[in-house]
Structure 1
Amino acid sequence: MSLIRAAEPADVPVILQLIHDLAVYEREPDAVRNTADALRDALFGEQPTIYAHVIEADGAVQGFALWFLNYSTWEGVNGIYLEDLYVRPEARGAGLGKALLAHLASIAAERGYARVEWSVLNWNEPSIRFYESLGATNQTEWSTFRLTGDALAEVAALADSAA
């Protein structure tokens, strides 16, 4: 039997560990810079910017979903952007990931949101097959772009001269 619940401040250390475990799975073991304080502030600070749900089974947190709201200008309503969904390897195959995704879908449906969306690495065939088995579709007509590091700083520096 499993239980899905909103994350609580006491869950921050286990969620952060699961984030590190996800980074290892995604072949980026040294990429996580997040800290317990930063995660706690983003989830439970004065102005929370993210949400998280955990799934418990066998008396312990076995996975999590971390998400935030996005907005569809065409639909005129919010949606959920799923930043991370992760289930411990030893707990996979028991339907925990499906349960977490179903929980988020139920939140979206209850609130009248237009969609739940996320990104998946192109090489991650097990996850792609899992998502497709649930009816999710690959948005191949879209490409993800990102500004980080020096490029982010350079574009930010344009703000004064761009106006």
Structure 2
Amino acid sequence: MAEISSQWFYRLKAAQRDLIERCGTIERAAAIASLSKSQMGRFNNAGDPELMPLSAVLMLEAECGTPLVTSVMAELNGRRLADADAPGAANATMMAAHADVVVQFGELIAAAAMAFADGRLTPAELAGIDRGAAKLEIAIAELRKAAAAARGTGGLSLVGGAA
């Protein structure tokens, strides 16, 4: 089996951290996956080489309802996950999804500007930028889902009247 590049390794580690965060705390994620807190802490640490076992990934993704690590693994293999028709997707609001993209983009730009200010990017600053990019990526995915749902119902009327 070919080794994964450091770029993909860091993407997987970032997805693990996001997954743990979505489940609440390291302690809660450890309890859900039936693993020790110290082991879950290693999965959450960007500098630790240990990756989550597949069983832990599946349990945590089921808990938070989002295939964060699975999506990165699919992408690593040149694939994308397709969402089944999610219940309530047609009720998603474009304005809220758009606003979230704008907020997440602003937070990413602000974090990056602060990191760039001294002319040096530390591993912690790079991890912060990566976390911001991950949040923006999720917000964009939600906006795209809302747009697709609205398109599937013939569009939206944002200011009274018919679509």
Higher fraction of helix: 2
Q: TM-score, normalised by structure 2?
A: 0.24
Q: Which has the higher contact order (CA 8 A, sep 6+)?
A: 2
Question: Quick check: which has more Rg, 1 or 2?
Answer: 2
Higher fraction of strand: 1
Q: TM-score, normalised by structure 1?
A: 0.24
